Each structure stands twice: as structure tokens, then as C-alpha cells.
Amino acid sequence: MEWKASHILIKERGQAQELLRKVKQGAPFEAVARDYSTCPSKSKGGDLGWFGEGQMVPQFEAAVKRMGVGSVSELVQTQFGFHIIKLTGKK
């Protein structure tokens, strides 16, 4: 199985919760990623491209496996910070 996802990476839980709220209320995911994410993928609206099993940290991969295409995750904590993930493809 492979997945395609975008994410917003934030260091602080409080800011991540606020951004998640904005996205859930309809703010464009890509625009929020460009403006706030601390990951280099922010320049592509958070797009991480396609990846397979074992290519992402375990917490991130576990969250993606539970998601449906087009959905946005709750906060996912990893050693990098807090992720808001949008699953954009699955094959």
C-alpha cells in the first residue's frame, strides 16, 4: 500500500490546535501549510508526495493508515512536533 499526504508541522501543541481548528472550519489546507508549517514541504503546500510502509515515522504512518482519502487528521505527535495530516491519495 502507498499513500499520498500533505501535512502541517508545528512545534507547539497550542498553535497546532488552533491551526487544526482553522482547517476544520474551512481554511485552505495548503495555504495554512505555506504560512505556518515548519517542514520544508511548506513550499509545496505541505505535499509529501507518495510513500510506502516504513518511510514515515511510526506515529505518522499509523495515522495515515486509519484515514480516508480527503480527510484531515487530529493532531499526531512525533519527535518532530505536531502534525496535521491530509490524506490525498491511496493505492
The CATH number given to whatever domain includes residue 86 is 3.10.50.40
Q: What is the pLDDT of residue 78?
A: 98
User: Residue 64 is inside which H or E element, if any?
Assistant: helix 58-66
Are 16 and 81 in contact by the 8 Å Cβ rule? The answer is yes
Query: What residues have CB less than 8 Å from 41, skipping those under 6 apart?
Result: 6, 7, 33, 47, 48
List of the chain residues with pLDDT < 50: none
Q: What is the pLDDT of residue 39?
A: 98
The strand pairing partners of 76, in sequence order, are 83
Cell representation of residue 91? 493505492
Count of domains forming the chain: 1
Quote the CA–CA distance of 18 and 25 in Å, as a whole number.
11
Q: What is the pLDDT of residue 17?
A: 98
Residue ranges making up the domain that contains 10: 2-90
Residue 86's SS3 state is strand
